[in-house]
């Protein structure tokens, strides 16, 4: 589903939940090019990812249920601002076991609350949906092929 308020993307990974969670809970998944100093995937943690010319992205972890889901807020359209009302969207990553595979679902919502006009809010949802598809494809490759 794609609207001005949210984007959703999912992928089935040929691996058990424990292996997929291990990849998602790793500093490499969260930090990009930033050093993993004092990395902690826990409720209330503040993480900062770095992505070359795209900038630095502060993230506030809101919920962690190991091997099930993680949720956070970030201000990726306003980087390097802190995630707060008017700048942040909320991302929830859910792991769903399906036999010997794991479905990873990402839902990002709140685009309609951003300090952007309606057209830019819609484009942000579309752009982030495309980006999440690429992130999940890379995660699938990492987990299934052991790359990374």
For the chain, the structural domain boundaries read: 6-145
Residue-wise pLDDT for 10-60, tens only, equals 999 999 999 999 999 988 887 765 666 667 889 998 888 876 777 788 899
Asked whether the beta carbons of 125 and 4 are under 8 A apart, the reply is: yes
Asked whether the beta carbons of 91 and 106 are under 8 A apart, the reply is: yes
CB neighbours of 53 closer than 8 A, spacing ≥ 6?
none
Q: Which residue has the higher pLDDT, 7 or 37?
A: 7
Residue-wise pLDDT for 100-122, tens only, equals 999 999 999 999 999 999 999 99
d(CA 60, CA 88): 10
Residue 95 phi, psi (nearest 5): -105, 125
Residue-wise pLDDT for 75-103, tens only, equals 988 988 899 999 999 999 999 999 999 99
Which pTM value belongs to this model? 0.91
Instruction: Report DSSP letters for 26-81, one per residue.
Output: SHHHHHBTS--TT---STT-EEEEE-GGG-EEEEEEEEEETTTEEEEEE-GGGTTS
* Confidence class for position 148, pLDDT limits 50, 70, 90: very low
Task: Give domain 6-145's CATH number out of 3.30.530.20, 3.40.50.2300, 3.30.450.40, 3.30.70.100.
Answer: 3.30.530.20
- The answer to whether residue 145 scores a pLDDT higher than 50 is yes
């Amino acid at each position: 589903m794609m609207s001005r308020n949210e984007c959703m993307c999912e992928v089935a990974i040929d691996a058990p939940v424990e292996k997929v969670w291990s990849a998602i809970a790793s500093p490499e998944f969260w930090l990009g090019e930033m050093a993993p100093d004092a990395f902690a995937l826990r409720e209330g943690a503040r993480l900062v990812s770095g992505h070359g010319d795209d900038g630095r992205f502060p993230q506030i972890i809101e919920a962690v249920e190991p091997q099930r889901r993680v949720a956070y807020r970030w201000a990726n359209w306003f980087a390097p601002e802190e995630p707060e009302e008017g700048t942040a969207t909320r991302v929830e990553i859910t792991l769903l076991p399906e036999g010997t595979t794991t479905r990873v679902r990402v839902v990002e919502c709140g685009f309609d609350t951003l300090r952007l006009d309606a057209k830019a809010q819609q484009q942000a949802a579309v752009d982030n949906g495309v980006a999440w598809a690429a992130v999940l494809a890379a995660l699938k490759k990492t987990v299934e092929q052991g790359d990374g």
